[in-house]
Structure 1
Amino acid sequence: MTFDVTVLGCSGSHTGPGRACSGYLARADGHQLLIDCGNGSTANLQRVTRPADLDAILITHRHVDHCIDLIGMFYALRFHPKGPQPIELYAAAEVVETLTGLLSHDSTLGFGEVFHVTEVAGGDRFRVGPMQVSLADTVHPVPTVAAKVEVDGASFVYSSDTAWCPDLIELARDTDLFLCEATWQGDGDGVPEGMHLSAREAGRLATEAGARRLVLTHVLGSLDRNRSLAEAQETYAGDLALAEDLRSWLLI
């Protein structure tokens, strides 16, 4: 068995040079889970798999840089050459209402024709093949969940969007790979509170969690990513990297 995660998009809030917004593909023993579906991410998805071959999708919150490509995914699955291809959709509160509002302007179609929707929140758990998925609420202006994916004792954690969050520290405790958002740089002067982490905060959070490897993601698309890496190194002494579109990490 193999267990890996591939970055499909890692730019925060808006696309960056050659980088799509949030999307991650977890694979284990032939099963595939797509986590988030931000703008541009499904173009990268189709470089590594077909939408109809996914087993499930998790959308962590309704901000468009994490969910807007689900509209295109709906059409790809609804008008598949072999007919509609149903799929499990686990979505935080307000996601489905936001996106079906976009569909209704030009179509009588509804998400229920393709997606079997389960609304999720922190504390929920579900399985996709051998992958056990556990969720925790994060600190963000809209309902948002972070996700831990485990297979045979190996795990990765994806923070989604969050400010400093004790529940996220516990979710990421001793994880093998921590994909942690690092939207801001510096000390946070002039940026909104209660929304995102800085690179230094991401490093500090990973250190407190004892994460074995930290990968910075959701770096604002206009920023110097090397500066983010340098700032995270001030607070995290372990294995550290920047997320890159189409880069994969093997966990088993």
Structure 2
Amino acid sequence: MKLTILGCTGSLGAPKGPASGYLLRGTRGPAVIMDFGPGTLAALQQVQDPADAHVMFSHLHADHCMDFPSLMVWRRYHPASAAPARNLCCGPVDLPARMGRLSADIEGEVDDMSDSFAFVPWRNGEPETIADFTVTPYSVVHPIEAYGLRVEEPSTGRVLAYSGDTGWCDNLVELARDADVFLCEATWGDEPAGKPEAMHISGQEAGRAARLAGVRQLVLVHIPPWVDDQATLEAARSEFDGEILLGHAGMELSI
């Protein structure tokens, strides 16, 4: 499994890169895009044909999905590389309505995405086969319907866990159990004191989740541009003594 970070800044795009978006490639099947925030389509064009990929979403806040309408334009209207067939799109149950409203030409209408994607809604704890991967969504704590995603590659046994956006909850640890790589948000920086509950976690909490889950490698993502990256990293190290990386746009990992 190969992971390419298209972007991973928290809450919005930043000079250092796009908002949340990740590209997964296995050994045989089509690529899989995991979240698709502002700026990620431009980054995707450098490494992957946008018309040849499945798409899955952790949740539908703008920083995780707003390049999807532009992807629909590429897939439908590119003069040389339009999508030759449908791909899968997995996510929260209201995804077709939310994204359809953004793509519609007339106020109040909902663009039908079924010409380009076959939609499958997530169901907590129920795995889906997507290209070379088995993906299991875990409900997490956020102001809207949101999931952490556990991505397993049956041919190798490798596991990538992705927190999505979440406050502290039991499923954060369960989805990452024994993962080879854990992409974990750290929006609140070094520690969560004084921050709203049930929304995001800190670097300290990301490190704690990695330790409790027994992961091999922790990659900190979703850090806003106004947050101190190094302080966030040190906070994670106070809880987890395994390998920790700061995620960044263009990072590639073989898992």
CA distance in 2, matches of 1:21, 1:121: 25
Q: Could you tell me which residue of structure 2 aligns to residue 80 of structure 1? A: 78
CA distance in 2, matches of 1:217, 1:64: 16
Q: Which runs of 5+ in 1 are unaligned?
A: none
Q: Could you tell me which residue of structure 2 aligns to residue 47 of structure 1? A: 46
SS at match of 1:50: coil
Farther off after superposition, 67-76 or 149-158: 149-158
CA distance in 2, matches of 1:106, 1:78: 18
Q: Confirm or deny: 8 A CA contact 1:84 1:113 kept in the other structure.
A: no
CA distance in 1, matches of 2:225, 2:37: 13
* Cα displacement (A) at 1:80: 2.9
TM-score norm. by structure 2 comes to: 0.92
* Cα displacement (A) at 1:105: 4.3
CA distance in 2, matches of 1:172, 1:209: 6
CA distance in 1, matches of 2:106, 2:123: 30
CA distance in 2, matches of 1:95, 1:243: 27
CA distance in 1, matches of 2:83, 2:33: 18
* Cα displacement (A) at 1:84: 4.7
Counterpart AA for 1:45 = L
* Cα displacement (A) at 1:106: 4.6
- Does residue 170 of structure 2 align to residue 171 of structure 1? no
- Which of 105, 109, 112 is equivalent to 1:110? 112
* Cα displacement (A) at 1:87: 1.6
Q: Residues 138-178 of structure 1: CA distance to partner in whole angstroms, max 9, x if unpaired?
A: 11111111111112211110110011121121121111000
TM-score norm. by structure 1 comes to: 0.93
* Cα displacement (A) at 1:213: 0.4
Q: Could you tell me which residue of structure 2 aligns to residue 229 of structure 1? A: 233
* Cα displacement (A) at 1:219: 0.6
The share of aligned pairs that are identical, in percent, is 34
Farther off after superposition, 123-132 or 81-90: 81-90
Number of residues of Structure 1 aligned to a counterpart in Structure 2? 248
- Which of 150, 175, 180 is equivalent to 1:148? 150
Q: Could you tell me which residue of structure 1 aligns to residue 64 of structure 2? A: 66
CA distance in 2, matches of 1:106, 1:247: 39
CA distance in 1, matches of 2:149, 2:205: 19
Q: Confirm or deny: 8 A CA contact 2:191 2:205 kept in the other structure.
A: no
* Cα displacement (A) at 1:95: 2.5
Q: Could you tell me which residue of structure 1 aligns to residue 125 of structure 2? A: 123
CA distance in 1, matches of 2:169, 2:72: 33
Q: Confirm or deny: 8 A CA contact 1:163 1:193 kept in the other structure.
A: yes
Counterpart AA for 1:34 = I
Q: Report the RMSD for the aligned CA atoms in angstroms.
A: 1.6
Q: Confirm or deny: 8 A CA contact 1:61 1:93 kept in the other structure.
A: no
Q: Could you tell me which residue of structure 1 aligns to residue 34 of structure 2? A: 35
